[in-house]
Amino acid sequence: MNPYTIVVGVANPQTLSRLMHTASLMAKQLGGRIVVASVVPPATGDSSDSLATDPMTQADQLLGEALATAQTYGVACDSTISLARQIHEGIVDVAVAHQAKVILVGFSERQDQSLQQQDYDRIIDALAAHSPCHLLVAKFRDGKRFNKVLVPVASELNLRLTSDIVTALHHQAGASIDFIHFAPTAQEAEDSSPELGHWLEAAGVADCGTVTVDVNPEPTEAIVEASRNYDALIVGTPPLHALRRRLFGSVAEHIVNHAACTAYLVRSRESG
């Protein structure tokens, strides 16, 4: 049986340590391993660049730092450079080759949200459409704190990958987990409470934290407001099937873009 393999796509030194921190917690919890991947475009034949700006040299440096970080956590970790013209293609190739269970990528807050952000959005959009496995996207805010984690639950589907990161943060980082489900009316809140308990039990996370069912006709804004009191937020989204959508949908994107804490977007891939 293949171990639970997490492919971590690295390109930005600012997010590398936090990506590896997240991946290492998951690998330790799930008895898995990490494969760190850096995508480099094929050589253009222009050798005028100095070694300091050479993409291959930069990739080697990133991978070396990633391996050193994984070693501090005592988890198995390999690294690879993927040659591909499109970043998402290189990451997908690595995930297929290693039969990955999940791809983890991330980005941090930027002062300039224009072209660079648009380029990143296109990469994540393509990964969401073509990933052969589950996809976990981290939007980092401050530090690596996981004292309090908020997990909004809308359906049973989005708990498939959510349960993996929830158990890792709870058992490996000691995080306090708050599950919350918003219903538009008091009656629907009462009706949904038993179902929510069944979802969490089936996902194996019922014992990881507290469960709240709240009445709010505007759950999106309620989640954003609640994020001010948490270190991290985990937002699950339904599987995309073969249909390409921009990123993870407008609701999930709004929550992640406006949350006051580190946010994880999870997209489970249905088998078959």
> What tens digit of pLDDT does each residue of 212-252 get?
999 988 889 999 999 999 999 999 876 554 334 444 556 78
Confidence of residue 195 (pLDDT cuts 50, 70, 90): confident
Q: What confidence tens digit (pLDDT) does each residue in 137-193 have?
A: 999 987 678 999 999 988 765 677 789 999 999 999 999 999 999 888 899 888 888
Confidence of residue 46 (pLDDT cuts 50, 70, 90): low
**CB distance 161 to 126 below 8 Å:** no
pLDDT of residue 55: 87
Tell me the residue ranges of DSSP E strands in 184-253.
Answer: 209-215, 232-237
Delimit the domains of the chain by residue range: 5-138, 148-267
May I ask the CATH architecture of the domain 5-138? 3-Layer(aba) Sandwich (3.40)
Q: Integer distance in angstroms from the first to the last C-alpha of the chain?
A: 19
pLDDT of residue 248: 52
Confidence of residue 61 (pLDDT cuts 50, 70, 90): very high
Q: What confidence tens digit (pLDDT) does each residue in 2-39 have?
A: 899 999 999 989 899 999 999 999 999 999 999 999 99
- Give the pLDDT mean for 252-265: 88
3-class DSSP state for residue 69?
Answer: helix
pLDDT of residue 230: 96
Q: What's the whole-model pTM score?
A: 0.89
Q: What confidence tens digit (pLDDT) does each residue in 78-117 have?
A: 999 999 999 999 999 999 999 999 999 987 655 445 445 6
pLDDT of residue 100: 97
Query: 148-267 has which fold?
Result: Rossmann fold (3.40.50)
3-class DSSP state for residue 76?
Answer: strand
Residues 6+ apart with CB under 8 A from 7: 34, 35, 36, 37, 91, 94, 95, 98, 100, 102, 103, 104, 133
CA distance 139 to 146: 14
